[in-house]
Amino acid sequence: MELSELTERLHPFCCSRYGTDDVRIFDVVKMPGHAGFAYGFRVETAAGVDSWFIRLPPPNVNWVGTADVLRQVAVLNALDQTDVPHCSVKWSGDDLEWFGCPYFVVPWLDGDVLRLGEGEWGTRLTDSQRLDLGGQIMTALAGIHKVNPAEASYLGDPLPFDEDVTRWDRFYERAADPERLKDVPTVRQKLLDQLPVDAPVGIFHGDFQVANLFCSPDAKLLAVIDWELCGVGATLNDLGWIVTFSDPHAWATEGVVRPTFLDPETLIRLYSEAWGTALPDLNWFRALAAYKFAIITGLNLSLHRRGKRPDPLWEETKLSMTPLINRANELLG
């Protein structure tokens, strides 16, 4: 949606929600990130100025799966009963009169996601600050996983563990540089042969990594954001995901500088302390995360090269496709 059109639509919406026609909409901006369908805006009334963030589904797609923004609302509402830092939903709905699609609105926070690139704020944290922030992050993750899935029944039934392996088959078939993924069939079979037994099932985030952790300037976790991939299933997939992004053995080392937050052992320890009970062997979840991201990289590399979703970063990330698969193979024994 063009910003001018969104601004026009926001005015009657906000008049309705604020209960007054004395409303000024300004600072309507497209928010950064890969989703591309989130916008910030400010509202001025006689009472002052409020800042909001609105999420809309992508245009010209069915409002299901990741395009169903009301899935995110279901989780965010469930988190209102917890201590997990998140953005509480102010307004949401599937009424099409305002934006022609479902929507939700949350506060526009001041801060930034956890950035670890050269010169970024996350790299300037002291060891003590990193450990403290890591404790906040992993406590939040455990808190998400402790929510009763019945509190977000809109998400549907749990995803079976085997489907969490096989659902990547169609993306593997479309991946660029397939020679970098030559051991995918071997790892796939190992994952299916070693499916976890009695691993925790509950609400998962689906992309729990530093780019989705919104923090204050003094390194306090303000909100876990971007819930497009949320669902119900194996919660430890979230732990495997963030651990894999911090695992030096899973990534290419030549020609690539990859900053990390905390080492895998520390992240696992902090999560275990917050979870409070014994965890199953985590190697399967770490292996699945590495397997998935290798395939995701191959798919996005293909989309980039075909001009469907240009992003030259995938030409660098492709160097880790084989190391990721090798790491998954190693973790599975």
Tens digits of pLDDT across the chain (333 residues): 899 999 999 999 999 999 999 999 999 999 876 545 899 999 999 999 999 999 999 888 899 988 999 999 999 999 999 999 999 999 999 999 999 999 999 999 999 999 998 889 999 999 999 999 999 999 999 999 999 999 999 999 999 999 999 999 999 999 999 999 999 999 999 999 999 998 999 999 999 999 999 999 999 999 999 999 999 999 999 999 999 999 999 999 876 667 789 999 999 999 999 999 999 999 999 999 999 999 999 999 999 999 999 999 999 999 999 999 999 999 999
Per-residue DSSP letter, 114: -
Q: What is the CATH number of the domain that holds 99?
A: 3.30.200.20
Residues 139, 68 within the same domain: no
Residues 122, 261 within the same domain: yes
Give, in order, the Cα–Cα distances in Å from 88 to each of 48, 113, 193, 222: 20, 18, 41, 12
Per-residue confidence (pLDDT) for residue 135, from 0 to 100: 98
3-state secondary structure (DSSP) of residue 20 = coil
Per-residue confidence (pLDDT) for residue 59, from 0 to 100: 85
CA distance 272 to 183: 31
- Partnered with residue 204 across adjacent β-strands are 231
Residues 161, 268 within the same domain: yes
Total count of domains within the chain: 2
Per-residue confidence (pLDDT) for residue 255, from 0 to 100: 66
Structural domain range at position 44? 3-107
Residues 132, 226 within the same domain: yes
Per-residue confidence (pLDDT) for residue 60, from 0 to 100: 85
Nearest to 105 by CA among 23, 188, 42, 33: 42
Per-residue confidence (pLDDT) for residue 35, from 0 to 100: 47
Residues 88, 155 within the same domain: no
CA distance 260 to 291: 19
Domain boundary among 60, 89, 107: 107
Domain boundary among 43, 75, 107: 107
Domain boundary among 74, 107, 140: 107
Residues 88, 145 within the same domain: no
Q: What is the CATH number of the domain that holds 282?
A: 3.90.1200.10
Residues 168, 30 within the same domain: no
Dihedral sign of CA atoms 13, 18, 21, 25 in order: negative
Residues 136, 93 within the same domain: no
Dihedral sign of CA atoms 316, 319, 325, 326 in order: negative
Residues 166, 294 within the same domain: yes
Residues 218, 320 within the same domain: yes
Amino acid at 67: A
Residues 124, 252 within the same domain: yes
Residues 100, 180 within the same domain: no
